[in-house]
Amino acid sequence: MSGSRRLRGLLVVAGLAVLAVLAALAAIQEGVRAPGVWCTRDGDPFRASTRVDPHVTAVIPTDSFEVCELDEPCVAADAAGVWLLRRRERELVRVDPRTNIVVARIGLGRGLDASWAPQSLAIGDGAVWVFTSRLPPAHPPPDGSRPSRPGRYLPVVVQRVDPATNAVANLRLPTRRLAGPLPAGLAQTGGTQAAAAAGGAVWLIGFGDQVVRLDEASGAIKAIAVGAQVRDLAAVDGGVWLATDAGLVRLNLSGNATTGRPITPGPDQRYTGLAATSDGLWAMVTRQLREGPMVVPTTLDRVVRLDPASGRVLASVPVAHGSTELVGLRGGDGLLAVALTQAHTCGFATEWQYDVSVVDARSGHVRVRAGIDDNVADVAVGAGAVWIAEPSTGRLLRVDPSS
C-alpha cells in the first residue's frame, strides 16, 4: 500500500514538473516578460514582441513615425501639459495629462525656411523652450571638428512657447560668438538634458568646455568656459550644476563658478548625467576603465542624491544593474526617472533592452521598473507621471508611479 502511495506521489510530482516546463515554454513563445528581460517570439530577433509592460498605464499615438532621434532630448512635462517634438514636421505636440489626448499641434517653422529643424527642448520660468538650428552639412568632416566653411558656425534660434496661448516667439542667437559648429550650438550628450531655464535665463551646453547663458528679457548671451567638456546640466536651488569630464561644477545664476575645484565621485568614476527634483539634485555615476593614458567610460554604477548647495553625496540608489548606457535621467514632482539600456541574451540572439526605473526622490526607493519593448528616445517627469518617447513608433507612453 505504501509503495502504491509513493508511486502516485511521484507521478503527481512528475506531472507538475511537466506542466511547469510547458508553461515556461508557452510564456517564451508568447513574449511574456520576465523581471527585467523581454524575449522575442520564437527567439527570432526580427519578430519583436508587441506586449506592453503592465506598468504602462497609457499609450498615446502622435500620428508620426521617427518622432525624435535616438537618445536625444525631445519630451518634457509639467502641470500644463506634456510636450513632444516632431522634428520632421517641425511641430510641438501638446498632450493633456488629465485625459492623455493630444490637444494642440504647435508649428515651429514660422519665419524659418526648410533648412531649420528643432533639436531639443526644456521647461522653465513659465515657458517651454525649443532649440532649433539649421540642418548640418550634407557631407560634414569625418571628425566633426571643423565647420563646413572656416569661420562660420551653424546659427541657433531659441523658440519660447507660451503655455497659456501656445504662441511661439523666435529669438535668434549670434552663435558666431560660440566656439563650435555642432547643430544647435549644443553638444550631443547621448540623451542627457542639454538645456535648462532658471533665474530669468536659459542655459545651454555649448561646444567643448563652454556653457551659454541667454538672458530671457534682453537676449544677451554670455559664454562661460569651465575648463572641461560639459556632459549635462541641471538648475536647482538658485544655481546651475554642470557634469563635466573633470567633475561637478556649480555656477550661480550670474554664471560664476562657486564650487572651487570640480567634485568627483571617486577613483575611476565620473558623473555622466544630472537631474533636478523638488527634493534636490541627482547624478548618474559611471565607472571608467583605464587603458594606458586613456580613460574610457564603461558601465553605469548607481544614481546618487547630492546636496544642491555643496554637492555632497546624501544617498545612493543602485538602479543600473549592469547597464551600459544612460538614455535619460530626469526629475520632477518628487520623482526621478532613470532610463537605461543593456544587453540581454534570448536563445541565440542578443538584444538591447530598455528599462525605466521610477525612484521616489524623498526615500530613494524604486517605486516602479518598467521594461520597454522598443527603443527609448527620451523620458520626462511631470503631472504626476513619467512619460517615455518611442522614436520608431512615435508613441508616447505613460507610467504612473503607483501602478
- Strand 91-96 to 101-107 pairing: antiparallel
Q: Check if the beta carbon of residue 370 is closer than 8 Å to that of residue 382.
A: no
pLDDT at 133: 76
Show the beta-strand stretches assigned E in 137-253: 156-161, 168-173, 195-198, 201-205, 210-215, 221-225, 230-236, 239-244, 247-252
Closest CA relative to residue 297, chosen from 315, 273, 316? 273
- Phi first, then psi: give them for residue 185, nearest 5 degrees: 65, 15
Q: Is 377 helix (H, G, I), strand (E, B) or coil?
A: coil
Cα gap 264→317, rounded to integer Å: 17
Cell of 96: 493633456
Residue 189 pLDDT: 31
Per-residue pLDDT of the chain (403 residues; tens, 9 = 90+): 455 655 555 555 455 554 554 444 443 333 333 333 333 333 333 334 445 678 888 888 877 655 565 456 789 999 999 999 888 888 999 999 999 999 999 999 888 888 788 888 889 889 999 988 776 555 444 444 443 333 333 457 889 999 999 999 987 665 444 433 333 333 333 223 468 888 889 888 877 788 888 888 887 788 888 888 888 899 988 899 999 989 999 998 888 877 678 998 888 888 888 999 877 899 988 877 666 666 555 677 789 999 998 899 999 988 766 666 777 889 988 899 988 887 666 666 667 778 898 999 988 899 998 888 777 888 999 999 999 988 777 789 999 988 6
Nearest to 356 by CA among 50, 148, 56, 43: 56
Where does 31-399 sit in CATH, by number?
Answer: 2.130.10.10
Cα separation, 98 vs 57, whole angstroms: 12
